Chain A
Amino acid sequence: MSSMQDHTVVRSSRASRFAALAGIAILILLIAAPLWAGRADMRLLGELFLYLALASLWNLLAGYAGLVSVGQQAFVGFGGYLLFALTIFGGLHPVLAIGVAGLLGAAIAVPVALLIFRLRGAYFAIGTWVVAEVFRLTFAQISVLGGGSGSSLPVSIVKSVAANRTMREWTSYWMALGLVVLVLAVVYLFLRSRRGLALTAIRDNELAASSLGIDIWKTQFQVYVVTAGLTALTGGLIFLQKLRISPDAAFSVNDWTAFVIFIVVIGGIGTIEGPIIGTLVYFALREFLSDLGTIYLIVLGVVAILIMLKAPKGLWGLIRERWGIELFPLSHRVIYSKPDKEK
Chain B
Amino acid sequence: MHVDWINSIIQGVLLGGLYAMIAAGLSLIFGVMRLVNIAHGDLIILAAYLGLTVASALGLYPLTALLIVVPVMAVIGYGLQRIVLNNTLSDDILPPLLVTFGLSVIIQNGLLEIYSADPQKLDAGQLGVASTNVAGISVGLLPLLMFVTAVVVIAGLQWIFYRTALGRAFRAVSDNQDVAQLMGLNKRHVYGVAMALSLAVVALAGIFLGMRTSFDPSIGGGRLIFGFEAVIIGGLGNLWGTLVGGVILGVAQNIGAQINPGWQVLAGHVVFLFILAVRPRGLFPRMTG
Contacts and interface: CB of A to CB of B under 8 A. Distances in A.
Interface of A: 62, 68, 70, 115-116, 118-123, 125-127, 129-130, 133-134, 137-138, 140-141, 148, 253-254, 258, 261-262, 265, 269, 294-295, 297-298, 300-302, 304-305, 308-309, 312
B127 interface: no
Contact of A305 (B103, B112, B228, B263): B103
Give the interface size bracket for B toward A.
35 or more
Interface string B97-141: 111011101100110110000000000000000000000000000
B87 interface: yes
B46 to A, nearest CB: 14
B164 to A, nearest CB: 27
Contact of B272 (A62, A130, A265): A130
B105 A123 contact: no
B93 interface: yes
26 contacts: A68-B94, A70-B101, A115-B277, A116-B276, A121-B36, A121-B93, A122-B30, A122-B36, A126-B225, A130-B225, A130-B228, A130-B229, A130-B269, A134-B266, A254-B105, A258-B105, A261-B101, A265-B98, A269-B94, A294-B113, A298-B113, A301-B105, A308-B95, A308-B99, A309-B84, A309-B99
Contacts of A123: 36, 228, 232, 289
Contacts of B105: 254, 258, 297-298, 300-301
A301 B93 contact: no
Given A253-B221, A295-B113, A122 B93 contact: yes
B102 A304 contact: yes
A122 B88 CA distance: 14
A140 B96 contact: no
Interface string B213-251: 000000001101100110010000000000000000000
Contacts of B156: none
Which of B97, B102, B221 counts the most chain A CB atoms within 10 A? B102
B94 A133 contact: no
The 3 closest A-B pairs by CB, nearest first: A122-B36, A118-B280, A301-B106
- Pick from A68, A123, A140 the residue with the most CB of B within 10 Å: A123
Contacts of B35: 122
B38 interface: yes
Given A121-B289, A122-B36, A126-B224, A304 B98 contact: yes
A122 B106 contact: no
Nearest to B87: A309
A127 B276 CA distance: 10
Given A123-B36, A295-B109, 18 more contacts: A68-B94, A115-B276, A118-B276, A122-B30, A125-B36, A125-B38, A130-B228, A130-B229, A133-B265, A134-B266, A134-B270, A253-B221, A254-B105, A258-B101, A300-B105, A304-B98, A305-B99, A305-B106
A130 B84 CA distance: 27
B262 interface: yes
Interface string B245-286: 000000000000000001101100110110011001000000
Contacts of A137: 262, 265-266, 269
A66 to B, nearest CB: 8
